[in-house]
Amino acid sequence: MTDAIALQIEGMTCASCAVHIKKALEQVPGVCSATVSYPNNQAEVTTDARVKPETVTAAVAALGYRAIATDTPVKPVSVPNKPRGASADDHKIKINGKAGKLHVAVIGSGGAAMAAALKATEGGARVTLIERGTIGGTCVNVGCVPSKIMIRAAHVAHLRRKSPFDGGISATEPKIQRDRLLAQQQARVDELRHVKYEGILESNSAITVLHGDARFKDGHSLIVRLKDGGERQVVFDRCLIATGASAAVPPIPGLKDTPYWTSTEALASDAIPERLAVVGSSAVAVELAQAFARLGSKVTILARHTLLFRDDPAVGVAITAAFQDEGIEVLNHTQASQVAHVDGEFLLTTDEGEVRADKVLIATGRTPNTRDLALEAVGVRLNSQGAILVDERMRTSVPHIYAAGDCTDQPQFVYVAAAAGTRAAINMTGGDAKLDLATMPAVVFTEPQVATVGLSEGAASHDGIETDSRTLTLDNVPRALANFDTRGFIKLVAEAGTNRLIGVQVVAAEAGELIQTAALAIRAQMTVPDIADQLFPYLTMVEGLKLAAQTFNKNVTQLSCCAG
């Protein structure tokens, strides 16, 4: 004997939601079959007589949806197919029996959060955005923007002090007034935060901003401890976690008792230390090390491995050589075993001896900000580093809760965060969008710059891909010769047999302006001969891609300047 249990389901946003629910219902012991209708927000479950309604509603609730058993079986109705695009009418749901707009809670206000909030409102949702600190997150306030301003100022200082044209243009020692540079830097940060974040939020009536700390109460509500005092409960249909990351601090004995810097304090300092020790070898470490050196610090880098060791080994070799040429001391394979701060001086004990400095910058990576969210209350899964695990649609282990940006297990770049936030919002409001990171470009803003996309030889080998590669030194690139700066190289990695381009690594001035062309070539599945046959403007750095492609079957040293 079988029974039929009818369910009213709240919270489905697309047909895939119905598929997830159907699968979960059919796994309940005693359930014979289940039919789930996304357009009708209903389900009909055929069971044996022992299964109670609360058993099947609990199975739906475990996925993050709301289910209510009703007395009326589902009757199929004819409805038009819902478009993939989002509209306000598409995303009205039943809340307490009444139709209302989909409510999306966004925790954070950085690149991922803002992109998601704006896209969700385009899809007809109303958004509550919760920020515990300064609106705008890391990038505009204490990351990308201030660091690139400081790096650019350091670049100008360096050129005034030393350039390839000193024989004809008199060099001069610049006077560094860091307090004035800092004021200029902060003014631009404040301007961009207001124009790109605060002003946009203020002008969008569909977004409510709460200032406070959020934590999960259950699968559909947050408790926000407000900055102004008191608490507020936020009930949501969908939630995006976009809380970013903070500087990771290694457990070096003695370090926590010293006034060490992270990148935040370094960028906010109104003085340039006479001696700076940088612990780390990541992009942040090398960028700020060179900037401080060019602004007047005597810099020593302690790298546990080698500089930028996750990239092709040639990258670290080239950057190390450039740094040493500028007087930056690079201690590879070196770790501090003890840190002390006595009479205003840091003392770092290493296996290579002692390093003394006036300031110590810790730049050993970033840790996701997930600890205080009470994620265990809702079952959102984390990896061993505390990052939220997401799929290609930004969905967490709880179907109606999404995550994007540096708090996830995706690469920690603001443009990845923004793209992920946009796609999360599309999916939260009924669409179907994936994030493909196969052709994600990355840039390190040293001089020369480092830019990469796709696979290195090592990564390809790890994936079982046989490769053919060529490396072109910059003394073969006319633009570099005209600049009198031939430091670096362009390396192309192709799949053996097909000659399809699968990776590019560049160390060169303005490498970041070149790498997007390589990314598009990889995305278009171009081969090395395809690239070699393209027209590139003469006396540009990007022409180096063509020359590098030509090296697969030609000796480019035997070509004329602009040979096709």
Q: Which residues are catalytic?
A: 12, 14, 17, 65, 139, 144, 561-562
- According to DSSP, the β-strands at 489-495 and 467-473 are antiparallel
- Tell me the C-alpha distance between 33 and 23, whole Å: 10
Among 390, 123, 92, which residue's Cα sits nearest to residue 242?
390
Residues 241 and 249: their CA atoms lie apart, in Å, by 23
Distance CA 18, CA 35 (A): 9
Pick from 9, 4, 15: nearest CA to 79: 15
Distances (CA, A) of 382 to 35, 64, 177, 272, 408: 32, 18, 45, 39, 8
Distances (CA, A) of 10 to 17, 181, 220: 11, 54, 12
SS (H, E, C) 516-562: HHHHHHHHCCCEHHHHHCCCCCCCCCCHHHHHHHHCCCCCHHHCCCC
Place of tokens 């199929």: 76
d(CA 199, CA 357): 42
Quickly list DSSP for 294-329.
HTT-EEEEE-SS-TTTTS-HHHHHHHHHHHHHTT-E
Round to whole Å and give the CA distance between 75 and 498: 55
How far apart (Å, rounded) are the C-alpha atoms in residues 10 and 554? 64
239 vs 241: CA distance, rounded Å: 7
Side chain identity at residue 166, one-letter code: D
Q: Are strands 238-241 and 401-403 parallel, antiparallel or unpaired?
A: parallel
Query: On the CB side of 437, how many CA atoms lie within 13 Å of its CA?
Result: 17
Query: H helices within 89-222, ranges in order?
Result: 111-122, 137-142, 144-161, 178-193, 199-203
**Both tokens assigned to 40:** 């009708």
